[in-house]
A and B are shown apart, each in its own frame.
Chain A
Amino acid sequence: MLKRVNGTEKNIEIPRVRIADAEFPQPFKSGLEYASPARGTWNIVHTGMLIPEAHEIFVCASCCLRGVVLTAAEMGAQDRFSTVAVREHNLLDGDMEELVIEGVSDIINKLPERPPAVLVYTSCVHHFTGVDLDMIYATLRERFPDIDFTDCYMNPIMRKSGMTPDQLMRSRLYMLLHERELNPKAVAIIGSDLPTDKDSDLVHMLERADVKVHEITSCKTYAEYQEMAESSVYISYYPDAAPGGEMLAERLGGRHFALKYSYDYSEIDETFAELAKELGIPPRKQEEIDDLKEHCESELAETLALIADTEIAIDYTYSPRPLGLAAMLLIHGFNVKRVYLDAVSAGDKAAFEFLQKKYPDLELLPTVHAGMRFANSLSNRAGKVLAIGQKAAYFENTNHFVNVVEGGGMLGYEAVYKTARLMREAFEREQNMPELVGIKGLGCESGCCSGV
């Protein structure tokens, strides 16, 4: 419970709206924004570190450097991370290009070993001063021909102008791939921070068809990373990864396939059938699909029997389709009461409309609205709440929660039955929520991005 510091006796209302009354895609008015202590989602430092042996250099003001430098430190990856501080005189002197070029060069020359790749992150100030990034990168490439450079960005001010920072970063991961001959029997799963589960529908399907699968999360060396370029199809399933897939197709000549992330059985069947067609491999047999459905139903039934009418809250950090997940659980009899999200994605529009009609009392709550500062301390529900996702866990002030971010590498039917299993585990096992949700980049600490 948070100690009150402003001493006001006036009531503070936690913002919420019935889904029946909510507007698509923005259920809440934008305003001052709050940052909850749930820190499990990955940031641009974590994601960039997925490129093995690459070195990250951030060129920003110190207020922007602070978060990323400590992200690297908490990962134990300081030796793969450096900074160039932009100071006030640089804004006035007009020497921003020189600062980037000479700063990056200075750092490279001081590194104990020459990295094969350097990710240079520029920021909002470079955008606003009209810095000539093309000239900067051309100069760096000329100066260090043995290093692959790519442009990365920490410019959140552009988050509503074109590609979001998340989409941009996920696309940058593959900009260093060198064109090579395409292998028709090789594909790359792209754009997911977390490794796709070996048990997922996708990996099973590809392995059975004897397709060679590349994924950045399993690359141990830069050479291995470069082998991804042989892929003839780039499969994205995390929605923010799709623009990167399109860019790859344009640059390297393969094809991009955006697999739909869904908890709806018919949508899962449809998207996997389309993928099989795209790859020219046999579609899943009906018998296999029936087995998977039966498995899902069995797991869901077992979970429902255990947790019964326990209130459930879901947030968008668990899955890119929080409303799709809510719909699936409600259809199966679960007592989903609240979904935490700030906007409804295009992929969740159908679920949003379905829920408006069939479950109009489902509540939507924001995560960044200023009033959410008090959600945790005002959360004093009598019964147990099961949260699916870190932000829901924090706002509901519950130690019973599914501690997974960004889909957790689950996909297809596997995402359904595994979620049901994780819900049972969360219901039965109390966890230290405040401590767990504060860890940055959940899954990164396991070593998948801690380098070589």
Chain B
Amino acid sequence: MKQTSRIISTYSADTMGVCSALFELGGMTIMHDASGCNSTYTTHDEPRWYSMDSMVYISALTEMEAIMGDDEKLLGDIEDAVRELHPKFVAIAGTPIPTMTGFDFEAVAAVAEQRTGVPCMGFATTGMNTYIHGASLAFEELAKRFVKDIDEENGDTGVTQNKLKVNILGLTPLDFSVNGQDTSIAAWLESENFEIVSHWAMGSSLDEIAMAGVADVNLVVSASGLRAARVLFERFGTPYAVGLPIGDELSGLLADLIKINAPKFKNASSFEESEISVHSGLFLGADADADSYKDGFVAVIGEGVASLSLASAIELECGIPAKVLCTTECPKDMLRECDVMTPDEEDVIAAVEGAAIIIADPLFKAVCSPEAKFISLPSEAFSGRLYRSEIPNLISDFEDFSKLIIL
């Protein structure tokens, strides 16, 4: 039966995705909920909780406030907290009960902004989607509200001439942990002679993100960056590429495709037309030939962009067909025909049937056939802090990782 999990874990939810996306930007994020989400987020979803003093709170909603529609209590609490703690912005993220009571996030955020004089954003998350959805909404709103228009004053950021300027979109520890993968992506871009404008949102300030409009191209490193990429395309005509620089071959192709196509795809006719990597055939996929899977294949379970990139790197460098089992939200047209998208345990069991090698978070192992070789690839978004110390840096250490992938 769908929706049941006998033994596997649960992905971090959209509410937490909002918190994670905005964590480093100096704001205050409020989960509109009774209790529990806050401690879950800080314990399992947020490795930076112990090293940065970002403000993430819960509204402590009660039964009577929910039934009576007492939004004034929340508004008053926000006013008090803003007065005492001076955040740069306020974000309010939803959970199941506000969803049920029809809480108007946008309206409450607008009133809060009027009263506090601080930018306020409302996110109608439900707590029933994955973190990708929530982080997407947060990044999208940043792109709409905080990225400055380009004018003569800020059009020239002083970056080196003849270098393409890049924003990295979709960085959160839920996908990249805190083991240096974010800085490895940046280092790879710099080694390829790109100039980085902003990292959304690990390692950049709100002021740096505000300059994102000057970029020539956006690199979307997880599905959570796609909505922001769309807004930046609509506002600035910026094209985008999807993918992670995993392994030498895929990384080289990705860099070349961006260099060749970014200037050409600027101000494309539609957002879809401005996509560089997927439509340029960066990601392979053995779907054209069903026999490709006859002698065994690799199943990669996880977030869409990371899994797609890893599967392609495996195909390019190990010569083994690899298909993706995307367990979080991801645009269907980004995945290949051979790939599957589902959050449900029974679908996961079916999809990995026949795989010779399964690469996934350790908490998936219980539903994988013992016949398959299981290669652990922990994800903060799935197993939280449980295997944090074992998360590899696939950007810098793919060569070592690939040695495990032998049929």
Interface residues of A, Cβ cutoff 8 Å to B: 2-8, 10, 12-13, 29-35, 37, 39, 61-67, 69-70, 73-74, 78-79, 81-88, 91, 99, 102-103, 106-107, 110-111, 123-125, 128-129, 154-161, 368, 370-371, 373-374, 377, 434, 438, 440
Contacts and interface: CB of A to CB of B under 8 A. Distances in A.
Given A5-B26, A35-B58, A73 B9 contact: yes
Nearest to B344: A85
Nearest to B205: A7
A61 B84 contact: no
Given A67-B44, A73-B383, A32 B77 contact: yes
Contacts of B52: 2-5
A78 B58 CA distance: 28
Contacts of A111: 6
Contacts of B87: 6
24 contacts: A5-B52, A5-B53, A5-B54, A6-B86, A7-B26, A13-B84, A29-B80, A61-B127, A62-B127, A63-B15, A63-B33, A63-B37, A63-B128, A73-B363, A82-B7, A107-B6, A111-B6, A124-B34, A125-B96, A157-B63, A157-B66, A370-B57, A370-B81, A373-B53
A106 to B, nearest CB: 4
B125 to A, nearest CB: 8
A370 B62 contact: no
A35 B38 contact: yes
A79 B80 CA distance: 45
Nearest to A129: B100
Secondary structure at the A interface, as helix, strand, loop or mixed, is mixed
B35 A62 contact: no
Interface string B116-138: 00000000001111100000000
Interface residues of B, number: 76
Interface in B8-34: 9-16, 23-27, 30, 33-34
B406 to A, nearest CB: 29
B292 interface: no
A161 B42 CA distance: 26
A61 B126 contact: yes
B319 interface: no
A436 B205 CA distance: 32
B90 to A, nearest CB: 10
The 7 closest A-B pairs by CB, nearest first: A63-B127, A67-B40, A6-B26, A63-B13, A157-B34, A156-B35, A2-B53
A101 to B, nearest CB: 11
A370 B39 contact: no
Contacts of B386: 70, 73-74
A400 B133 CA distance: 42
Of A4, A70, A84, A160, most B-chain CB atoms within 10 Å: A70
A370 B128 contact: no
Contact of A6 (B13, B81, B84, B88): B88
A125 B37 CA distance: 15
A161 B324 CA distance: 47
Given A32-B77, A91-B99, A377 B53 contact: yes
A128 B97 contact: yes
Interface string B88-112: 1000000111011100000000000
Contacts of A3: 51-53
A39 B129 CA distance: 26
